[in-house]
Amino acid sequence: MLDAALAHLSIAGHQAICPHAGAPWLISGASSCYTVHEFAPFGQTSAELRLHSPDAGPWHWNIGQYLWTYGKTSWAQADQTVPGPAGASHVGARTLALFGEVTAPVRDGWRVVGGLRQSWDHRVLRPASMSTTYAADFHHTDFRLGYEYDVARDVLHYTTLASGYRPGGLTYDGNLSDARRFDAESTLALESGIKASLGRVLQFNLAAYAYRQSHYQDIDNYNGFSVTLANGQSYVCAAGGAQPAQCSVPVFNIARASSYGLEGSIRVRPGGNDHFDLEAALMHARFGKNLPTCATVAAPQTPGCWIGYNDQQTGALHFFRLDGAVQPHAPAFTLRLRYEHSFHLRSGGVIRAQGDGFHSSGYWVGPVQDAALFGWQSAYWTGGLSVSYRAASARFELSAYVRNLANYAVKMSALPATTLGDPRNIGLSARLDW
């Protein structure tokens, strides 16, 4: 059997930027605005061809090819060394991959799994206000090995060892007046678990995993250090655009990181019209100890992996040593609850009402652990409600929902700037098939 998929996304747009002289929560008043053409334009295309075996039968295999391209050009009317389209920046990417996987029976109840993927990546960078375009090529080979064992008719045990990667790229280093490559981030993952069901009444999954990451990518962003310009003058790098090339801070790779965890889920159907879901996870994620040098611009000379950041209130430059620190967005405990009830109407239609809740323990939203706790997200609860109607013919469906019911602002990132997750969302959607 042959499957083919093709998708394309194109965006063109701009936004108004109205900068203030200080943090928005500390000052008030209007300021001058200018236009930023963030997508001028943006384009993304993916294509995949996959040849695979039929679903029936003891052997399962697939081979295929995947292609992905990406391009984004951006420019601003101000706060750019060369304002307007002439100073536009551009980033581009192309990934081509060949892959194959097979699941083969070896004896009653036992199956082995094996797979390979070869990827070729091409990256392009043209920094803002520059005419030079830089390019780099990378390649990576990944694998998947494992087994499956039918412990009982509805109980499956599995173990998988697999590798994966995040492509490397280019970053401009103003001190060298050249682009620098940063390596691909690679992951080796071991997972073992059980999937089981007791008819339609009870289903549960339990899995333990261990990840080991190499060349963890970090995009550092800080200012407040002194540089020497081409004319020999000393200059203190500041926030915002229109900074000399010498103020660029290169991306770097953190040598080692690891994660260990346990995940479990249960679905209970006490009756034909109800089901209850519970998902829980424990995680321990740390960067390696005794790491080599990370930040190189104005960083402390003491050995270790130092990363720079600016205080969000004062702008003062600080450095944090990452050796042995907790990884970002790695809560020690998470819990998700969901309950759904179905009302079957005489007309044959169905109304489904659902409520869900999510809890997370506290975690850091970035690598930096600052004393002011700007980068710390405290433990929180959030949840939502939804109701939907589906006609007896299944051709028409109407849904209404409320997400983030408590309107809680979850931190997504911090240092140099804080971004928040979505506020309360209330929506209505309809679907009609013909």
Indicate the pLDDT class of residue 94, thresholds 50, 70 and 90.
very high
Alpha-carbon distance 192 to 172, whole Å? 41
Indicate the pLDDT class of residue 141, thresholds 50, 70 and 90.
very high
* Backbone CA torsion sign across 386, 387, 391, 393: positive
Alpha-carbon distance 44 to 48, whole Å? 14
CB atoms within 10 A of CB 331: 19
Q: Are strands 380-390 and 396-403 parallel, antiparallel or unpaired?
A: antiparallel
Percent of the chain exceeding pLDDT 70 equals: 95
CATH no., domain 79-327: 2.40.170.20
Model confidence pLDDT, tens digit, residues 168-189: 888 877 666 788 888 889 999 9
Q: Is the pLDDT of residue 167 over 70?
A: yes
Residue 84 CA from chain centroid, whole number: 31
Residue 368 structure tokens: 């930096």
Phi, psi angles (nearest 5°) of residue 246:
-65, -15
pTM of the predicted model as reported, rounded to 2 decimal places: 0.82
Residue 385 structure tokens: 């409600």
- Could you tell me the residue ranges of all domains in the chain? 79-327
Residue 220 has a pLDDT of: 76
Indicate the pLDDT class of residue 28, thresholds 50, 70 and 90.
very low
Report the half-sphere exposure of 319 (CA within 13 A, side-chain side).
Answer: 19
Q: What is the mean pLDDT of the chain?
A: 89
Q: Is the pLDDT of residue 146 over 50?
A: yes
Model confidence pLDDT, tens digit, residues 262-311: 999 999 998 778 999 999 999 999 999 989 888 888 889 899 999 989 88
What's the Cα-to-Cα distance from 365 to each of 258, 261, 285, 315, 398, rounded to whole Å?
A: 17, 19, 13, 19, 36
What's the Cα-to-Cα distance from 333 to each of 165, 173, 195, 360, 380, rounded to whole Å?
A: 26, 39, 21, 6, 11
